[in-house]
Amino acid sequence: MKRHSERHYAERIGWLRAAVLGANDGIVSTASLVVGVAAASAVQSNILIAGTAGLVAGAMSMAAGEYVSVSSQADTEKADLEREQQELETDEAFEIQELTDIYIKRGLEPSFALEVAKQLMAHDALGTHAREELGLTDIHAARPIQAAVASAVTFALGAALPLILTLISPMTLLIPIVAGGSLIFLALLGGLAAQAGGANIYVGAGRVTLWGALAMLATAVVGSIFGTAA
């Protein structure tokens, strides 16, 4: 019988986090910006200009932020691996004992733990210590460019949704249509993200919807205050 390889939710953590964060921020920030500007009694063309500017600026900001953040993580991982390699070259006996102690704590008999440590060290010493001692695996490896691109693209896609609603909505109903439609988008996004990550769909949907509603409410209040003052 042909065996199939297992797929785990953890394998999706890297791209899923960046994608969900980007799309969620795109919807929330752009919808909030549109609602806030509309509440200040701006004309529809100005609202669209503000929303489009927010899309471009937000996508670039997300890409830059993710790239810098994940690059820092990658630099830290690289430094740890270089130090581990040096330790393997200068004191191999200590590294074998260190690995043995790890396996003993996990429940192996000391003699068996030592044998496992020696065999794994002979096969791939650095890879074994990276995995067992540092907790570094291919699944969780830092990928700056992948994270940056995913964040920028998903932010732009998310931001486009409230902009489309702004474009097709009459001014008299612009705020409720943009706000209501954006909350629906957020609920769907939160539910899909939760399902992809193996979490509760309703909790995921409710969480992002709540914070999105609060963000739009806050900007609407600020827009109304400044619109009245003007």
Domain total of the chain: 1
143 against 104, higher pLDDT: 104
Q: What does pTM read for this prediction?
A: 0.70
The type of residue at 97 is Q
Note whether residue 133 is domain-resident.
yes
Q: Is the pLDDT of residue 75 over 50?
A: yes
Q: Is residue 90 part of a domain?
A: yes
CA-nearest of 66, 62, 51, 46 to 159 is 51
Evaluate whether residue 6 is within a structural domain.
no
Query: Tens of pLDDT along 122-133?
Result: 787 777 777 777
7 inside domain: no
- For residue 69, is it within any domain? yes
- Tell me the C-alpha to C-alpha distance, in Å, between residue 67 and each of 16, 123, 145: 15, 34, 6
Domain that holds residue 165: 12-229
The Cα-based distances of 133 to 4, 94, 96, 99, 137 in angstroms read 29, 13, 11, 7, 11
* Cα 34 to chain centroid, rounded: 24
**224 residue type, one letter:** S
Judge whether 170 lies within some domain. Answer: yes
Q: Rounded to 5 degrees, what are φ and ψ at 113?
A: -60, -40
